[in-house]
A and B are shown apart, each in its own frame.
Chain A
Amino acid sequence: MKEFFYRLFMNRRREKYWWINLLVPLVSIFLALIVGGIFIQSTGRNPFLAYRLLFNASGLIPGPYWRSSFAELLLSSSMFIATGLSFAIAAKGGLFSIGAEGQFYVGAVVAAFFGYSKPFAGLPSIIHIPIILIMVMLFGGFWGLIAGYLKAKRGIHEVIVTIMLNWIAFYLIQGWLVPTGGPMAAKVETGVSGTPYISPTAKLPIILSNTRLNISIFIMIAVSFLIWFLLYRTTFGYEARAMGHTAIYNMEAPKVSGVNTSKRIMQIMFLSGAVAALGGSFIVLGILSQFPPVFEGGYGFDGIAVALIGQNEPLGIFLSGILIGALRTGATSVQIARIPKTFPQIIEGLIVAFIALHELVRYLLLKLAKAKKSSVTEGSVE
């Protein structure tokens, strides 16, 4: 547990004021809320009302409708954690993947396909769901592997390929597979637009009655732990991190010491794609029950923010995923205070900005700590 915390709170500096590392993310969140409040105030609306509405509906604080909002919170968090982990795995290995968005789409559409199509739809849940999840991870991983292969074998920058693959996934799914007449579209006479609804056996089991909360959050707890284990307890993780630390030097050091970097790059990108796709499957298997004609994405790009707030560490991402999930769950309620529901995105961006400014936050806190200490010692001298 101690090591968890060391890794989580940055730079692993064993300095005198080590607790400052623990404070930096918390202070960043606090500062972001203050700046967001000032912003609301300056546009002539009431920040206190906004925050009260936001947090009451977020599922973090017990209240009248806590049960259902808490369920919604964990539901959306599990998707943010998935895309966040996807970005972090690549980042740990020195790769900058913007591809979670497309992999999320691929995961969602594959989950819908294996959820409704015939030979699988009759199976009992206990077999059906694992089959779906495995297929989702294979396809998602393959989508990530394309970028990994081109990077490893041809030296093509992964940023370009992942951006292009996002759009290719988007257009192929929404311009070919899903619209009326497409190979995956529901038959016109059923009156359903988008893909057919998945069979009941494909739905993720509910774990809190009268809500939509399902096992996706448990899956993400397990996946977060597995990724932590992979990164810090296996050769794969050791070599991946070595590549990440030397990415700016073209990974020369690990290459010299015998790491097969091209193999590792492909493995990392496969894993990254598989995890993001898993997040995409949750939205179909747990929330929508089909792939709709208009799919509201964005989870992939928010995953980057989640990973950065969580310092690219599995436990940190789990916590920041919960935070972002909470902000999103409470988002619609701020409309009562005449504030657009995208307001939480401003907070999210500000948190990331203050994370980027961690040197400044650290500097201020350190100054504060030293000032306090010197005043205490002066007092004792007297």
Chain B
Amino acid sequence: MLEIDKAGNTRQALHIDPLRMCQPIGAIYAALGVQACMPHSHGSSGCCRYHKILISKHFQKTIRVTSSMLKENAAIFGGEENLKAAVKTIFDIYKPQIIAVHSTCLSETIGDHVSAILSEIELPTGKYLVSAQTPSYLGSHLTGYANMVEALLDQLAVRSELKRKKCFIIPGLVNPSDIREIKEIAASFNGEFTVCPDISDVFDAATPEKQDEYSPGGTPLSEIIAAGSCELVLALGAEAAGAPAAALSEKCDIPFATLDLPIGIEATDRYIRQLQLFFGSAPLVELKRQRAQLVETVMNCHPLLYKKRAAVFCDPDIAVPLCEFLAGIGMAPAFVFTGPASGELDDRLQEIFRRYETKGVVQSNTDLFELEQYLNNETVDVLIGEVHGKHLARRLDIPFVRMGFPITDRFIHPYFPIVGYRGALRILEMLLNAILDRADRDRAAEELSFML
């Protein structure tokens, strides 16, 4: 019963242990990456509350999100009044520079036209309103993230004929430490660039104490408005950043490229190469040092990881470069399970498998239970994924490396990156620790050694 049917999955309707969240949480995540921005959920209070809790628990830090608190009467007569009143109250009390409104299942189903309602509001000078459509019954949290970033760029960026040698980087949904790493690599070229959304110094900064205070981080509004003058748009992660990059490219007539999140050696190489070609500078000493250190470590430890089988259940944007890294260092990403992903996911992974002569089961738009059924038939050496794999790891007694969003049962992890060469080093450490801890646990006392 709990093993997978050899004929394949027979479930049609019941979704067990989801691998995806819904759009609004992605929209909130993105909106918080804008300076002095208040994310606003146009829906019932429950939605906003749960998103807030999950993000807060991932970062172990309080965040603020406002809600229209739609109730029964709004469901019947529409939520227009609530939204208008909310916007006024938010500007009065919390004094943000911008409110980023996203819709929910409720407001989408009753047919509230959020952007039309917002256009009727008279804005105080210097204040902005942006809205994104994010019904939860479509796509995943990554879609919501993409929709919110696209809305910000589409509704704020101004087309400019005057271009300057500046790169507009749109990162996917990652931790603040990853954004720092992305920025640090870009900064090493001494050129101009903007990262949007930028959650560093937001999710890893001290929580503001006053009601109308905001974290020091976030992309400044002026940078978003000036996006039209950039010469290149760089999306890092196809699912979360691809669509907004394409939209900005079209709106402001800027060439764009979609790269993987720079996770692992090759994806980081490609990111650096792209920046190098754009800024036209020589290879950098510090990056060379980091890469050499990483490669040396890989050469030292890869015998311990060779042919170790991994089951990966992350966001597709993380899964692709991560599996490339795993395959590249000799591991076998035997199962790659993700939430909804574009058709490219399978092609990309199959190409990686061919390149490194390994095989794996790739499933998108699936759930964790199906992975569990597969694993009941043939197990793996390590699980890599977000916190909800915890029960799975316990049931099947497999070492578990937490990666991605959300990780709500551990501290400090958002402060260390998984992107860049340094991030790859950390991934290696996490994998080795998990696998070696297990090996030590399973060894008889007389077999324990202080060496490997």
Query: Is the pairing of A and B real?
Result: no
Listed in ascending order, the chain B residues whose CB lies under 8 Å from chain A are: none
Which residues of A come within 8 Å of B, CB atoms? none
